[in-house]
Structures are given as structure tokens and as C-alpha cells.
Structure 1
Amino acid sequence: MSALTDDPAISGARVGAFEHVGLLYDGAEDYLAGVLPFVYDALAAGRPVLVAVPHANLGPLRTVLAAVPGVHYVDMTLAGRNPGRILPGVLLAFADAHPGRRVTVIGESVWPGRSRPEHSACVLHEAMVNMVFAGRDALIVCPYDVRLGAPALTGAQRTHPVMMREGSRLPNPRYDDPLTMIDELNLPLTPAPAHAAAITYHDDACLAEVRRFTAEQAAAIGLRPDRVQELVLAVNELATNTMEHTSAGGRLSMWSEQRMLVCQVDDHGHMADPLVGRVRPAGARGHGLMVVNQLCDLVRVHSRRGRTMIRLHMLI
């Protein structure tokens, strides 16, 4: 029986249902040997295929598949720089572009060089994939370099119902319920450092001052002018949300660390839906955090009843 069979006893999923496979690989040859059969099987079945992987792996795959039509490519180093962009902007965008058809996605969100906060954001992303794609007709295969180390590989095991290594594809006993994972990762952020510049805001009349403060601090820290404008827009979205959903105002803090501008908004609201900013809302409202994810290089959120902390990171 093929290692890539759709037999439920092997895949751990119902035929025609959502499958989320964590693929462990060691080196370039192992990578191609693991990924290519999924691509070829999907193309043989007439299914849309998306290869969304970091630049270092995208090149070799495009070379091997150069003569094979029907494959869509995304450089995850760019599209997935902020893991919060991947679900709405890459995975759901591709699935929604092919309604009524089973899609196959090679989606690699973690690569060597990702920071620890980015790794945590990627684990959160993978857990959310299990929620959002439940019931959808899709196969998403997520390659993980074994050199990433224990924290990243543990995250892979806890968010993929099926794991694969060297052609062996088996149900994963270490898989955790996505809501459990999301709640576990909803940790308070460390307080802003004492040297951070800060401003409080209380009503809509303060928003212009918040925007001015953001622009001045970002420019002083060294953010490029075009990125200053992006940050101003992102902060304005968050401050506006504070005004719409709380009555006590909020606090904005800004500082720099490790080639990053960091901007944190604290208020007394509560984001009860963990998928806010990851799926497109049905109506005209609720797009704010999705806009923020598109503009920033990393977005980290902690929200419990009576307190929300949102931290934005921008590469300097």
C-alpha cells in the first residue's frame, strides 16, 4: 500500500475530509522525496496545488517542477513573514479560489532563523488551521526541518493529527485539541520596558495625538518612512478598536529591541474569539486586526476578560 494512500487507517482522516500532515525532513534530498509525491498525486487527480514554502526551498521545488503545469507558488518568506497573514492571505485565499474542489497545499511556516516568538506564533497558526479547515476538502502538508530543534518540532507534533517521516505516514498520538493549544498559548506578554516611550488615550479626540506620537517615535527609532505610515495605520486600527469596545481607554508603548521596533497597545477589552484577524468577517466590521496582521512583521496577542495586550513588531 502506498505511503500516500487515502486509507483512513493510514491517514487518520476521513476520505475527502481535511488532512493536516506534519512532514519531518533532514536535508534537501529528504525534503524533495517527502514533498514531491504529494504534488504529483494531486496533479494526477486534477486537484489544485499550492506550494507555499520559504525561498530556500521554493527554488529547488520550482526547478524540479518547471515542466509540470498547474502548480501555484508562494514565497512564504515574504507572504508568511508574519505568521498571522498565512491563514487568511495564503491558505484560505487559495482554497476559496477553488470552491467545490479538493486542494493540496505544501505549507512551510517555520524555517531556520525564525525567532522564538515567531515559532510560538507559528504553533498558534497551525492550531488555528485545524479549527478553520475542519470540514473543508483539503490536504495541507507542512514540512519541518529536523534541525529546527525540540521546541519547534514539539509544536509540530502537537498541531498535526498525522506525522510523516521517511515515507511513513501515521496517526499522531501527541496531537492536541486546537482549542487547548490556543488557550495554552494565550500567555500574558512581558511588561513594556521602563525606558519605553508611552502615551495614554481616552476617547476619539486622542486618536490624532496617538497617530502623531506613533509617527514621531517610529521615525526616531529608525523605521523607514513607508513603514512608519504602515505602523501608524496599524496603531490607529487598534486604538480605534479600544474606543469602540471599551470605556476606559488604552495605553500605547514603543521601544526597540534586536533590530525590531516594538509597539504595544494595552486596554481593558476582551477578544473572546481567538480567530479574530485570521478569517475574513462576514460584514463590514471586524477587519481591524486583519489589517494589522497584513501591515506588521509579527503580531502577538494576549486577551483575557478585562485585559488585552497586542504587541506589534516591525523590522528596522
Structure 2
Amino acid sequence: MSAPATAPGLVHRAVPYRDPEHHAAVLARPISDALEHDRRALVVVDPRCRSELERTLGPDAGVEFRAPEQVHTAPPFTVAGRWGRAVRNALTDGADGVCTVGQPVELPGTDQAYWTRLDLALTHALHGLPVTLLCSFADVDGARERAGQLHDELLVDGAPVPGVGRRAEHELLAENPQPPPEDLGEPLLSVPVELGGLGAMRRRFEETARLSGFGPRRVEDLVLAVNELVSNGIEHGSGNPLLRAWRTPAGLVAEMTDADACRLTFPGLAAPPAAGARGRGLWLVSELADVLQVWTAEDDPDTVQGTVVRVTMTPP
């Protein structure tokens, strides 16, 4: 499996920088060009680069800054899905396109595997959208080689330079695995579900959500998400998945475990085509849930048998 070709309208480049001043200087041109052509600018960088960009572009330039510690609060595939929603919302609001900037920073729960998986996921979440995606990185020894494994192009001092050594996604994902499913203890409920039991399952989850403090709209979202999750396991998996639920400090967690392995590399990330009814299940789940996580035996055969899919939703 080779890396996907860059989608029409999607420009995905790695941006090396030496220091915060150089970082801001390299980013200022593509960001200002975007704003001048009715495109939005969504920038997630550390405070030092943000300060330099505000000084260079002006505090009223129209850049939407987001703090890294607020963006990177979930697993990388979930963050990529949120990024895709932010871009689609900007396009719906009338923007002709979006220039987005991301930068790896040291945060709890992030490591090299996190940033690698996020970079790969962003390519899929933004596929086909009019986006310039700039991935900044500190220009230290070996960094350009690592960036070349993920990007076809680098933006070096404002000039596009071909990347070298692009690698296949499945190799990078295998070398950068996500943490295995956390043991959440004794579940609130644990039930195998078959096609004829979907109605009873929905009623049980509706009651569980209400007892967990969810309001009517959020109850509806949760029941729909869980229904799509289990239906997907019934239709495309073994036909008899196991559904469990827990109350946690993060919210209500629902998990489907199925004996069959999911073979979608980035499940739920890309919006399905407008035409046709298929391919919407996991994408709809990712839109409704706060966090969607998928583990498969192909990803981690030592800790997962078949497929494990978890969704986390917070009240109200």
C-alpha cells in the first residue's frame, strides 16, 4: 500500500524552522497570501511563534489561533477529525479555502507516534478540500529526513522543495502504534447484540444516558452513535458483536468488540460522498462522539483480538 497522492486542492508541506523568529518569518507569507485571497488561516503553534506572527502580521490580521494544549486533548485520529470539521465549517461560512498550520510541541500524552499518526490522519481528514496544510518542525539533525517520510514537499525558507523518502502509510502506522485499550474496570452493562436485538439495545442505552446526566439532544446523539457502531459490527463483522459501557470522569464510554478485524486504515475520518447511503456509519459516529478510537488485530496483534471500537461522550 503506497501513500495516497495529494488530493486536488490539498497542499501538504513540511516547514523546517531554526528558531521562533525564523518560524514566524517562513509562515507569514503563506498565511498573509491566504488572507488576501479570502481564505481562512487556522494556526496551532507555540506561544513564541504566535507572538512573532502577531507582531509581523498585526493582531487584527484575522488569523484564528488555537492553543496546542486545547487542540491536542484527544487521540490523533480524533484531533484530525476535529480539524476536518473546522475546515468544513470555514468553507460553509464562505471561505474560499483554508491555510492551516500545526506544530509538534511537548504535551502530556504526546510522543513521536502521536505526531506521526496525526500527520497521516490529517491527510485523510482534509482529502479533497481546498486546504494548504503546513506542518512545522524544528530543523535539527535528521528532522528533514523524518519529515520526508511523511511529506512529498518541504517549504524551505519560502520555497517548495521536493521531499525525499516518502514511506507507505501502513509501515509508519505499524512503527508508531497507539496505546492499547485502557482497562476501564467492571462495565455498567455488557451484552452481545444481534440484528434482532438492536431495538432493546437502543432502549437500554437511552436509559443509561439519562441516568448519566445527558440531556435529550445528547441522549439522541449517543443512541444514534451506538446504534451505528453496533450495526456496523453486525453488517460488516461477525454479526454478533459485544457491546459494553462505563461511566468515567471523561463521560460515558461505549465499546464494541468484534471477532472480525476492521481493515479500514483510517475509520471514520473522511466524510463519505454525498451520493449513496453506504460508508457513513463510522464517519457519523465520529461526528457525534467526543472521541472515537479503533484498535484492530492488524494494528496490535499482541493486545487486540479482532476489532475494538470505543466512543466517549460527555453530558449534557
**Structure 1 counterpart of 2:28:** 36
The answer to whether residue 119 in structure 2 is matched with residue 126 in structure 1 is: yes
The answer to whether residue 153 in structure 2 is matched with residue 159 in structure 1 is: no
Aligned ranges for residues 53-68 of structure 1 at < 5 Å? 53-54=43-44, 64=57
**Structure 2 counterpart of 1:108:** 102
**Structure 2 counterpart of 1:179:** 170
Q: 1:226 deviation in Å?
A: 4.4
Q: 1:244 deviation in Å?
A: 1.7
Q: 1:266 deviation in Å?
A: 0.8
The answer to whether residue 288 in structure 2 is matched with residue 295 in structure 1 is: yes
TM-score by length of 1: 0.65
Q: 1:104 deviation in Å?
A: 5.5
**Structure 2 counterpart of 1:309:** 308
The answer to whether residue 256 in structure 2 is matched with residue 265 in structure 1 is: yes
Alpha-carbon displacement from aligned partner over 1:287-309 (angstroms, at most 9, x marks no partner): 11111111222211123478221
Q: 194-203 or 166-175, which moves further after superposition?
A: 166-175
**Structure 2 counterpart of 1:239:** 230
1:29/1:112 CA distance change after superposition, 3 Å: same
- 8 Å CA contact retained: 1:276, 1:286: no
1:109/1:231 CA distance change after superposition, 3 Å: farther
- 8 Å CA contact retained: 2:42, 2:98: no
Q: How many residues in Structure 1 have an aligned counterpart in Structure 2?
A: 290
Give the Cα–Cα distance (whole angstroms) in 1 for the partners of residues 181 and 148 of structure 2: 27
Alpha-carbon displacement from aligned partner over 1:60-99 (angstroms, at most 9, x marks no partner): 778946765xx6858685799732424643456768999x
**RMSD between aligned alpha carbons?**
4.9
Give the Cα–Cα distance (whole angstroms) in 2 for the partners of residues 84 and 33 of structure 1: 26
Q: 207-216 or 21-30, which moves further after superposition?
A: 21-30
Give the Cα–Cα distance (whole angstroms) in 1 for the partners of residues 312 and 145 of structure 2: 25
1:308/1:167 CA distance change after superposition, 3 Å: same
Matched AA of 1:52: L
Unaligned runs of 5+ in 2: 139-143, 299-304
Matched AA of 1:83: V
Describe the SS at the equivalent of 1:285.
Answer: coil
- 8 Å CA contact retained: 1:261, 1:314: yes
Give the Cα–Cα distance (whole angstroms) in 1 for the partners of residues 216 and 45 of structure 2: 27
1:286 to 262, 279, 283: 279
1:193/1:17 CA distance change after superposition, 3 Å: closer
Give the Cα–Cα distance (whole angstroms) in 2 for the partners of residues 97 and 53 of structure 1: 18
Describe the SS at the equivalent of 2:180.
Answer: coil
The answer to whether residue 85 in structure 2 is matched with residue 89 in structure 1 is: yes
Describe the SS at the equivalent of 1:159.
Answer: coil
- 8 Å CA contact retained: 1:223, 1:261: no
1:195/1:65 CA distance change after superposition, 3 Å: same
Matched AA of 1:201: P
Alpha-carbon displacement from aligned partner over 1:103-138 (angstroms, at most 9, x marks no partner): 562243866656449x86664342134467789875
Alpha-carbon displacement from aligned partner over 1:178-205 (angstroms, at most 9, x marks no partner): 3322444566833643422332233233
1:139/1:194 CA distance change after superposition, 3 Å: closer
The answer to whether residue 39 in structure 2 is matched with residue 49 in structure 1 is: yes
